Structure 1
């Protein structure tokens, strides 16, 4: 059974074991944390340290703050470099290499556009959560739930480019399926968090939110890793994809 994180620690999103919040590699399962995961762990640790100790609903928000920050800050599609643990795309000859590269870049950017409102609302919710204002936190969670509701449909509406090899088409299809799953989980997480803020704060509710967060993180890593892997295999650079390598 995973241990609880102590002051200055955060849980690994893979094995749920605690380690120093500024760690780069999990000492338990050896997972190399992505930049987004490192930032999330550090912010979660900081919030857990500063969480209010008062009784009542304010304490409820403090108790769930760690999970909420992980849920809402862990991953946004457009912000990270390629995940090194993501499955690599299989190289394959396309009819037109330049057209195939352009199509892979366009697919990645289409996902960014489709998920932007959900990511923005979720990020705003995490900021409000740290304020300890229960009413504003509830409203922010409600906005995030609404913003993320149709994201899966937008992702499913993205066409897989025809101008790709069979291997790359399959890789993009798998990545888009993971994106769909990840954002359905993000919507479910916002919905569950809203219920918890409103009083459903039993251990089983917190465990359900944590499980949803874990599923979302895994799906989004496969989503981002798959799309970026195909694009870079076809010659796209991080600049082409709009990825900030300085983060």
Structure 2
């Protein structure tokens, strides 16, 4: 069964727009767990425009499901992850000024760097996932870096889904099959939503986890947070 990890960054964006602590990110994350999510994801960035480092520490103290911290492994991020020691760290090569993640790692060109970072996290017992485009060479490269998982960057799938679901998912199926050949576990994330999620999982049922934030929080404005978490879980079980 594919697990649902909910990214709570957008809840922090709303809080930060007015200051104070409304909405309460920690309480929202606990509610999301209670509503049936299998994990919580955060993506702290250096400018603290949504999730802040102190949020990560506060969440670690109360979460009871899997905790996934994703981000670019700059020194301050590495220190935070080693301090908090989450279930999983997802390495994402986003620039400091990126609005959102927009590419996977070149795991071949960055092999030495990623190998060193992965080893540091493994010393603390943290599962390492590397964010990659749906390219077999990049998946195999992640295995060579010592990663436990890859997360396939699904923006292209979501963008092309309406025109042709089969064509959109094809490179992801190939990359997922390569991950299985390499002995890697498999995650997916970016722009997955209620329209395209079930088809993706239907074609790649060995996906271990999806990380969904923006679409899920947007849907919650209309359906309510509890109902929305359950709607996404039903898509995964469809």
Query: Normalising to structure 2: TM-score of the pair?
Result: 0.31
Higher helix share: 1
More strand by share: 2
Q: Work out which structure has the larger RCO, using CA pairs closer than 8 Å and 6 or more positions apart in sequence.
A: 1
Length-normalised TM-score, structure 1: 0.30
